[in-house]
Amino acid sequence: MPVHGSRPADARCDPGEVRVEGRFVWKNEPLPFHPRAEPAAQAALEVRAERGDAAFWTMHDAIFAAQKDLSDDALVALATQSGASGARVRAAVTGHTHARELAADAELVEDFKASGTPHFFIDGRRLVGAQPEEKFDAIIDEELTKAQALLDRGATPAGVYAALVSDGKGPTAPETKDVPASLPGGDPSRGNLAGRVTLHEFADFQCPFSARVETTLAEIMKAYGGRVRFVWHDLPLPMHPDAALAAQAAREAFKQKGAAGFWAMHDLLFASQQNLKRADLDGYASALGLAPAPWNDALDNTTHGGEITADQDAATAMSISGTPAFLVVPGSSRHGYFVSGAQPVARFKRILDRALAEAK
């Protein structure tokens, strides 16, 4: 387990020949809706890399005290006060120097279902949220008592923690779903069309979360586009009144201009998510050079309704009801790894790496 900063914790127990000692370990979980969390994490990790744990905790305290201003300049100023190089900290913030360490922590978040902050594990016992000191005290006192008992029975200090967490649950396996025979095979795709792994996306052009994940998917495409096939499936939700017509528009672009036309329309629709009325769609069709007669027929008569319904039926067969939703299928397997929602890059990469290893 990576440790990105640890410090001793007070151990309240009676003194004896062997004293129980505690340790506090920090893990990073920069949430995507906090835009300055990741840069702050990069700065703190760079301070630790240069100056060690003591400087990390100085930086940690300074960041929390200055939460209202975590601009690059502010982070560099805090880091230099902690003894680090301002130039190196700025480079870490802008260049994401410690991305691997953050990715490792993101894997732990996924393994132990620790989404949301703050999140604590005290000898493996979960405590979620900004709880009062009394709750921490109660658990810590119990764990110290158990630890002292183990030491009294001859356990080595190094073996105490392993013994305390030996009955804990390990990481859970990724959720899987059976691939239905009804899953359409001719839907719009990109990436390596002969790739050993297929990432199926069920999405809605009016869904804000489907739009949010686009940045993540662009990064995934850049990293895996040469090895993975990406397939789009329509799942317009009833709560989004313009989603069904937008799906028709993208399907007609696919019919007229193939995959290139579909993905061009796809990008326009997500870039203009607040403008998906018929007049807006007609403008996008004109910009892409789509033939007006079949375009009007498709949108007036829901020509592509059967294709969209087929996608919806496949989603229903897998109990998928929200967007975005993803199924990562290794090779010709009849099961896939399920990813629900606009998850961070690290989660997709971990699932894709697992699927690619299986598909060899």
Domain residue extents for the chain = 6-164, 176-358
- The answer to whether domain 6-164 and domain 176-358 are alike in fold is yes
Which residue carries 């317009």 as its tokens? 236
CA–CA separation, 188 and 250 (whole Å): 10
The DSSP annotation for 321-340 comes to -SSSEEEEEETT-SEEEEEE
Sign of CA dihedral 298, 304, 308, 311: negative
Structure tokens at 30: 């920069």
71-91 pLDDT, tens digit per residue, is 999 999 999 999 999 999 999
Amino acid letter, residue 293? A
117-144 pLDDT, tens digit per residue, is 999 999 989 999 999 999 999 999 999 9
Closest CA to 311 of 176, 204, 193, 190: 204
CA–CA separation, 236 and 114 (whole Å): 30
Average pLDDT over residues 194-222: 96
R_g of the chain, CA atoms, integer Å:
26
pLDDT at 238 over 70: yes
CA–CA separation, 318 and 313 (whole Å): 9
Of the pLDDT bands very low, low, confident and very high (cuts 50, 70, 90), residue 259 is: very high
Is the Cβ–Cβ distance between 290 and 261 less than 8 Å?
yes
Backbone dihedral angles phi then psi of residue 352, each to the nearest 5 degrees: -65, -40
Where in 28-169 does DSSP place strands (E)? 119-122, 125-128
pLDDT at 54 over 50: yes
Residue 191 DSSP SS3: strand
CA–CA separation, 327 and 247 (whole Å): 20
Of the pLDDT bands very low, low, confident and very high (cuts 50, 70, 90), residue 14 is: very low
Percent over 90 (pLDDT), the chain: 79
CA–CA separation, 164 and 147 (whole Å): 7
Structure tokens at 269: 């629709």
Average pLDDT over residues 220-231: 96
Which CATH architecture best describes the domain 176-358?
3-Layer(aba) Sandwich (3.40)
CA–CA separation, 135 and 139 (whole Å): 7
In CATH, what class is 6-164?
A: alpha beta
The C-alpha angle with vertex 285 and arms to 219 and 185, in degrees rounded to 5, equals 55
Which residue carries 């300055």 as its tokens? 36
95-117 pLDDT, tens digit per residue, is 999 998 998 898 888 888 888 89
Q: Name, of 99-113, 144-158, 247-261, the range with top average pLDDT.
A: 247-261
pTM: 0.69
Number of Cβ within a 10 Å radius of residue 253: 28
pLDDT at 149 over 50: yes
